[in-house]
Amino acid sequence: MFRHPELAERDRRILGVLVHAYIDQGEPVSSLWLANRGFGVSSATLRNIMARLEELGYVRQPHTSAGRVPTDLGYRLYVDQLLAERKSLRPTPQVEARLRRAGTVEDLLSHVSQEVSRASHQVGFAIAPDMTTFERLDFVPLPGGKLLVVVVAAGGHVTHKVIEPTEEYEPGELQQAANYLNQQFRGKSLVEVRQAVVERLREERTLYDELMARALRLASTTFEGIDPVPTLYIQGTSLLLEDVRTEDPDVTLTTLRTLFRMIEEKTRLIQLLDDYLGTTGLTVVIGSEHHDTDLQCFSLVASTYSDGHGTGAVGVIGPTRMRYSRAINAVDSLSKAISRMVSGTDM
């Protein structure tokens, strides 16, 4: 949040109107247009002001004889104003109802990404919190000697996996093994569990309790492929294409393509979003404020939420020229809703 001390109150208001108009219409805003908005000043004065704003880096001209367009810094000021006078909203009852239908956390997050996309008219996403703390696991024998293992982490996050053990196990023994492992490792993070298992296997190579050894070997194959990468749910990517028609010269096809690729890869995007996830609460990152060059044409509005165990995130991605107020409201209300639902009911 910048201070912008060098900017008089009036100038700031005018800049706000300019940004708003540009977001709305997508065309450079001229001094004449602004003069007709009842500021009580003539277009000539506005030209002077705009020249000053340009000098300070808040706006620029696409070419000499065109109106002004906000720069990323201009958007920044505008967004800071928005954030200052923001009041929290709740999602509409319909949205809440749709969310309540979700059965699993995964389902909920997928729906949230959809709702936030719909409400903001942008690409929406939701990140599950790290399923850090190991709660318990269960083994379910499958036909063909396979084994289904279900891992429950804190916050109701469940993953399952089919493994192919090298040895044979009796149903009763599986039960025992599960009990043993649950008792040993509950409360540790998944990564810790994996390390602990490996370590203990090596340490007690000549484990006198053969049963325990077999249990540990099972656990070893179970946890070896567990990726602690939080899952990313994305919706609304087709909306990115909507604006191409208007041919914003800044959002070119190439940058769009790279964004699409990022969305597909997911892992890279997650890493990137993780950086912002440090800040609690609502964050807006505008265009060139991004570290990643591929994102410098886009803005991000995101907010963290907590399920009582870890923090996840909800947000939207769109062109720098997006309706920030709408996006902020959507992200804010949904991140709060998700917090309520997920920790309140401990789904």
Partner DNA sequence: AATTAGCACTCGACTCGATAGACTGCTAAG
Partner DNA sequence: CTTAGCAGTCTATCGAGTCGAGTGCTAATT
Binding region for its own copies (CB under 8 A): 103-105, 135-136, 138, 140, 142-144, 146, 148, 150, 152, 156, 158, 160-164, 225, 235-238, 241-242, 244-245, 253, 256-257, 260-261, 263-264, 345-347
Q: Find out whether 302 and 313 touch, Cβ atoms under 8 Å.
A: yes
From its own copies, DNA, none, interface partner of 236 (C-beta below 5 to 8 A by class): its own copies
Q: Find out whether 327 and 122 touch, Cβ atoms under 8 Å.
A: yes
From its own copies, DNA, none, interface partner of 67 (C-beta below 5 to 8 A by class): DNA
Q: Could you say whether residue 30 binds DNA (CB under 7 A)? A: yes
From DNA, its own copies, none, interface partner of 51 (C-beta below 5 to 8 A by class): DNA
From its own copies, DNA, none, interface partner of 229 (C-beta below 5 to 8 A by class): none
Instruction: Give me the least distance between CB of 104 and its own copies, in Å please.
Output: 6
Answer for which of 12, 26, 37, 41 binds DNA (CB under 7 A) is: 41
Q: Could you say whether residue 71 binds DNA (CB under 7 A)? A: no
Helix (H, G, I), strand (E, B) or coil at 7: coil
HSE of 276, CA atoms in CB hemisphere, 13 A: 26
For the chain, give percent helix, strand, coil, nearest 5.
50, 20, 30
Cβ nearer to DNA, comparing 55 with 168: 55
Q: Find out whether 275 and 291 touch, Cβ atoms under 8 Å.
A: yes
User: What are the CB-based long-range contacts (under 8 Å, 24+) for 285-292?
Assistant: 286/72, 286/75, 286/76, 286/79, 286/320, 287/72, 287/75, 287/320, 288/72, 289/72, 289/76
Distance CA 107, CA 101 (A): 9
From DNA, its own copies, none, interface partner of 28 (C-beta below 5 to 8 A by class): DNA
Cβ nearer to its own copies, comparing 206 with 254: 254
User: What are the CB-based long-range contacts (under 8 Å, 24+) for 110-114?
Assistant: 110/233, 110/235, 112/233, 112/314, 112/334, 112/337, 112/338, 113/233, 113/234, 113/235, 113/236, 113/314, 114/235, 114/236
In degrees and rounded to multiples of 5, residue 221 shows phi and psi of -65, -30
Instruction: Give me the least distance between CB of 273 and DNA, in Å please.
Output: 35
Distance CA 188, CA 201 (A): 17
Assigned token pair, 150: 């279900």
From its own copies, DNA, none, interface partner of 263 (C-beta below 5 to 8 A by class): its own copies
Q: Could you say whether residue 63 binds DNA (CB under 7 A)? A: yes
Cβ nearer to DNA, comparing 67 with 236: 67
Q: Could you say whether residue 260 binds DNA (CB under 7 A)? A: no
Instruction: Give me the least distance between CB of 244 and DNA, in Å please.
Output: 16
Answer for which of 24, 25, 66, 229 binds DNA (CB under 7 A) is: 66
Q: Could you say whether residue 32 binds DNA (CB under 7 A)? A: yes
Q: Which residues bind DNA (CB under 7 A)?
A: 28-33, 40-45, 47-48, 50-51, 54, 61, 63-68
